[in-house]
Amino acid sequence: MRFGIAAIGGYLPQLRLDRKVAAKELAWAGLSMPRSGFRTVADWDEDPVTMAAEAVRNLITAPVTALRFASTSAFFTDRAQAALLVDALALTSATRTSDLAGSRRAGTSALLDALLGRTAELIVAAEKRQTQAGSTAQFAYGDGAAALRTAEDGAAHLVGHACITRDLVDRYASREHPTPYAYEERFVRDIAVPELLIPAIRDACAAAGIAPSQIAQAACAEPVGNCWKGVAKALKIAAPNHCETLSDQAGDLGAAHALFAFGLALAAAKTGDHVLLVGFGSGVDALIFEVSTAVPGAAEMADLLAEGERIRDFTRFLNLTGAIGLDWGMRAEFEQKAQATVLDRVGRDTIGFIGGRDSAGNVQFPKSAYPVNPALQEVEQLADVRLADEEATIVTVTADRLNFSPDPPFDFGLVQFDNGARVLMEMVNRPASGFAVGDRVRMRLRIKSQNPRLGFRTYFWKAAPLSRPLLGEG
């Protein structure tokens, strides 16, 4: 059996900024920026953890030994995001975890380690990076996540690889300069193409026993534009680079970019094709895969590019990205402080959305010592029921513009799960016509509360429509 990629998944936020809107709004300034295509925009309650959970949740169809989380924009610096994901995905506490940061190729490096070690792992990368208002990065970047599962008898297996490590400072961010600082593009291109990308790809092809011209599909992360053009010409590669498509339709996803584009490449590949995956950042990872059969999840990743809701208000975009701070008035003047003792006691059931079922079949959330079934007269041990994977129907709904929300209105109401549970929930991804009683919903992990003063946040699931609008419908 050949070890390789068993499945792949991705997530892109529903909101999309049309770059033409941004270009029009800033035409007076004459700023340099991408002027076509879209960039994905995370909602106020989305971050790398929530997006990672969405990308990886459908891949858990078999036991995994480890979960690796890669991001250069993770919220916590001294709290493992991978541990949060273990609870959110209801994985066993014996799952080995690690957080990887400091490089945009952290995701490809983690994938390569899993493949070379032949370990069944989940590798997920996600980004929501801070940018300066009006900068090229603000419109070139995008928010999103990508995930892979490695296993024996994978649908695509590694046949060659090469790595080059080099401290090329094409761009950087730091604690004292959290927004990206980019160096001159020609300098970066003149170093990256001949000294990093071409040698790494040539060596990976040699290790795979193929000529570069035999590459059928590519997902090559570029530090700056037009790098692939120079690489393809030098190595005589005719394959399209799906990273370019992703950059145009969703933006540069950072550590998740090459992995998401890899899904697009796999969706376009045929049996027997060789697919190139290249991660870039403080060096290069170049991996060559041979496709044995269709990779589960790849086609769905391609479909994600067609979904989305256009943001037509530039001020709303600036608000969602944190580029401006609005005065929301007195209703925003409150703090939500999460206690570590509470999180330790019920945190796993909360972030995992695990309710309980009594002996009569009644399902409730949260679990309690005495079930809500009035017919029971004594304590009963409830069986775990994960509600995060269940669908439900809206029973009551309120669109509230009095309670504070960073992106009003604040939608909430009772939802009735098909298994009988009824829970008061917040609602997200509001349809154009608003939510209505009888609407069918699914669960998505989101930020529940945040305390900016203490730099802390908690997570819970919120109800969202079963499907998302197509971008062309906006």
The reply to whether 377 and 234 lie within a common domain is no
Helix (H, G, I), strand (E, B) or coil at 9: strand
The 10s digit of each residue's pLDDT in 429-448 is 999 999 999 999 999 999 99
The 10s digit of each residue's pLDDT in 170-206 is 999 999 999 999 999 999 999 999 999 999 999 999 9
**What CA–CA distance (Å, rounded) separates 462 from 405?**
14
The 10s digit of each residue's pLDDT in 6-56 is 999 999 999 999 999 888 888 898 888 888 899 999 999 999 999 999 999
What CATH number has the domain bearing residue 392? Answer: 2.40.50.840
The reply to whether 237 and 352 lie within a common domain is no
The reply to whether 241 and 348 lie within a common domain is no
Measured CA to CA in angstroms, residue 4 lies from 68, 113, 284, 361 at distances of 16, 12, 20, 41
- Whether residue 474 is contained in a domain is answered as no
Residue 421: burial class (beta carbons within 10 Å; 0-12, 13-18, 19+): buried
The reply to whether 380 and 419 lie within a common domain is yes
Contact between residue 404 and residue 332 where contact means Cβ atoms under 8 Å apart: yes
What average pLDDT does this structure show over 414-430? 96
The pLDDT of residue 168: 96
Q: 339: domain range?
A: 330-465
The reply to whether 403 and 265 lie within a common domain is no
**What CA–CA distance (Å, rounded) separates 371 from 438?**
27
The reply to whether 248 and 300 lie within a common domain is yes
Number of domains composing the chain = 2
The reply to whether 293 and 355 lie within a common domain is no
Of 320, 348, 373, which residue constitutes the final position of a domain? 320
The reply to whether 244 and 104 lie within a common domain is yes
The reply to whether 362 and 456 lie within a common domain is yes
pLDDT over 90 for what percent of the chain?
Answer: 81
Tell me the HSE value of 417 on the side-chain side, using a 13 A CA sphere.
Answer: 26
219 vs 333, higher pLDDT: 219
Q: Please, what is the angle between helix 340-351 and helix 81-88, to 10°?
A: 50
* Direct distance between the N- and C-terminal alpha carbons of the chain, in angstroms, rounded to an integer: 47
Confidence of residue 474 (pLDDT cuts 50, 70, 90): very low
User: DSSP of 139-154, one letter per residue?
Assistant: HHB--EEEEEEEETT-
What CATH number has the domain bearing residue 309? Answer: 3.40.47.10
Give the residue among 403, 385, 401 at the shortest CA–CA distance from 443.
Answer: 385
- Whether residue 325 is contained in a domain is answered as no
Residue 195: burial class (beta carbons within 10 Å; 0-12, 13-18, 19+): middle
The pLDDT of residue 225: 92
Of 254, 285, 320, which residue constitutes the final position of a domain? 320
